[in-house]
Amino acid sequence: MKLELVFIPSPGDGHIRPLVEVAKFLVDLDDHISVTILIIPQMVGFSSGSSSSYIDSLSTASEDRLHYNVLSVTYKPKSDDPKTNYFSYINSFKPQVKASVEKLTDSAQPESPVPSRLAGFVVDMFCMAMIDVANEFSAPSYLFYTSNATFLGLQIHTQYLYDVEKYDVSDLKDSEITELEVPSLSRPYPVKCFPSVMLNKEWMSVLVSTVRRFRETKGILVNTFAELEPQAIKFFSGGDNSLPPVYPVGPVLNIKINGPNSMDDKQSEILRWLDEQPRKSVVFLCFGSMGGFREDQAREIAIALERSGHRFVWSLRRAKPKGSMGPPGEFTNLEEILPEGFLDRTAKVGKIIGWAPQSAILANPAVGGFVSHCGWNSTLESLWFGVPIATWPLYAEQQVNAFEMVEELGLAVEIRNSFRADFMAEESDLMTADEIEKGIRCLMEEDSGVRDRVKEMSEKSHVALMEGGSSRDALLKFIQDVTKNIS
């Protein structure tokens, strides 16, 4: 019998791409698995060019056991509140999801050469409302968690404190307590590194209600591997029957590296320039699809880069105006915002670009360090290619990722793990040139313990996905459990 799984990623590159890769893993591992991915487009104003082109490519890429269905946008925002808008937007797709699954189950008739059965829904961490649709079909739900096991543990622990201990961690914002014990970490977690959403009462209530729904699932697929997060995996394997089983199935990456001919002229020029640079001599600065900076911060980065003396590739983008949402824009005249003469003085040792082909740059042997916002997909990419990170978190759970990489695992160096950008923050910090320069110099040290540990973890990340590897075994266990849960 063929088992049909319905995958529902939340909008955005960092969520759609990993879930697509998990689907590919599953259909490759078991001939009885078929997957239909229902794609929710990004909200108007949030879509980037790379995201739109990727979704367009999927709409024509369906195969025998892997199908893509891009849903239609019918929602019109009714509020200025980003929380209300986002979750209302996701909820608006419930009727389309239900209709798509009804069509899928109608076509899986007994007269088919290979009978099919709806085996379950795999929903993104921001699409928990789709559990309601799964329940209408009496189908099991599974969660795909795009971040790491440590942050999952922090979320589950804060929900436990809120519901059982009647303790709201958002109260820590105005308290004298500086640390919190978290079972998915081996050391206390500093309050100053808490994500902004966890220190905001309104957002905290949304987070808690979301995490409660995590517990309704039959299992949680996490984009990590056992060797990377031993303390967190130990926590989840500790026998707590109130938690669903956790399957560490990563690193789940979309790292197809296209050649220069598929890129625009600026991107191709940078890759050719990298090919001419000495091995591990270039520092790469890139801050994700939502990472942009004000003019004063861009100047501080430029000063630090020039003082450091290192070659560089810098993905520089303009922050959205305070209070607005969406991807960053581009600076139209760099000479106006950067220190006078900077572009001329660094013309031979540095390159500045807007949107950057991150995987292709990290894969280049010339790159010796990565100044990153610590988004989890970027973090996994850096480990995959063996490039150490200097941590500069901006928003979401990135402060947790930065703390874990530096303090818990010793796989990165710190610029400032408690940095907060405009995104969901009351006031944006300013990182000084001195801080940035210090971080870059530490990052680019040739003979450092961090570099050695990253190289070792890079090898483990590759092994995890091979036959007999921990993540491959976790995927096989997931398939076994999916089969058992419909028996």
DSSP codes, 164-228: TS---GGGGGGSS--EE--TTSSSPEEGGGS-GGGGSHHHHHHHHHHHHHHTTSS-EEESS-TTT
For 131-156, what is the mean pLDDT?
98
Structure confidence at residue 97 as a pLDDT band (50, 70, 90): very high
Q: What is the pLDDT of residues 24-39, one digit of tens each?
A: 999 999 999 999 999 9
Q: Examine the pLDDT at 348 and tell me if it is beyond 50.
A: yes
Q: Examine the pLDDT at 107 and tell me if it is beyond 70.
A: no
> Which of these CATH numbers, 3.40.640.10, 3.40.50.2000, 3.40.50.800, 3.30.70.260, describes 260-461?
3.40.50.2000
Q: pLDDT at position 59, please? A: 73
How far from chain centre, in Å, is Cα 169?
A: 24
CB-CB neighbours of 290 under 10 Å: 23
Structure confidence at residue 266 as a pLDDT band (50, 70, 90): confident
The residue type of 392 is: W
Strand order, beta sheet including 33-39: 66-70, 33-39, 2-8, 116-124, 141-145, 220-222, 246-248
CB-CB neighbours of 16 under 10 Å: 26
The more confident residue out of 302 and 332 is 302
Facing residues of 414 across strands? 391
Fold of 2-254+465-485: Rossmann fold (3.40.50)
Q: Examine the pLDDT at 442 and tell me if it is beyond 80.
A: yes
CB-CB neighbours of 71 under 10 Å: 17
Structure confidence at residue 425 as a pLDDT band (50, 70, 90): very low
Enter the tokens of residue 94.
């419930």
Structure confidence at residue 424 as a pLDDT band (50, 70, 90): very low
How far from chain centre, in Å, is Cα 338?
A: 30
d(CA 473, CA 469): 6
Residue 424, phi-psi category: left (phi > 0), alpha (psi -120 to 50), beta (remainder): left
Instruction: Kindly state the percentage of the chain with pLDDT values over 90.
Output: 76
| Residue closest to 26 by CA, chosen among 402, 358, 482 | 482
Instruction: Kindly state the percentage of the chain with pLDDT values over 70.
Output: 92
d(CA 55, CA 475): 25
Structure confidence at residue 162 as a pLDDT band (50, 70, 90): very high
- Residue 180, phi then psi, degrees to nearest 5: -135, 135
Residue ranges matching CATH 3.40.50.2000 in the chain: 2-254+465-485, 260-461
Enter the tokens of residue 201.
């009462």
Q: pLDDT at position 262, please? A: 60
Cis peptide before 251 (omega within 30 of 0): yes
CB-CB neighbours of 33 under 10 Å: 21
- End-to-end Cα spacing for the chain: 12
Q: pLDDT at position 369, please? A: 98
pTM for the model: 0.94
For 419-440, what is the mean pLDDT?
79
d(CA 53, CA 36): 20
Q: pLDDT at position 50, please? A: 63
Q: pLDDT at position 76, please? A: 79
- Count how many Cα atoms sit within 13 Å of the Cα of residue 294 in the half-sphere of its side chain: 14
Q: Examine the pLDDT at 406 and tell me if it is beyond 50.
A: yes
Q: What is the pLDDT of residues 46-87, one digit of tens each?
A: 555 566 778 878 877 788 899 999 999 988 777 667 667 888
| Residue closest to 396 by CA, chosen among 115, 46, 155 | 155
Q: Is 31 exposed, middle or buried (0-12, 13-18, 19+ CB in 10 A)?
A: exposed
* Site of tokens 């630090």: 304
Q: Examine the pLDDT at 423 and tell me if it is beyond 70.
A: no
Q: Examine the pLDDT at 383 and tell me if it is beyond 80.
A: yes
Structure confidence at residue 111 as a pLDDT band (50, 70, 90): low
DSSP 8-class letter at 405: I
d(CA 292, CA 236): 35
Q: Examine the pLDDT at 455 and tell me if it is beyond 80.
A: yes
Enter the tokens of residue 158.
């804060």
Q: Examine the pLDDT at 391 and tell me if it is beyond 60.
A: yes
Mean pLDDT of the chain: 91
Q: Examine the pLDDT at 115 and tell me if it is beyond 90.
A: no
Residue 202 · residue 83 · CB < 8 Å: yes
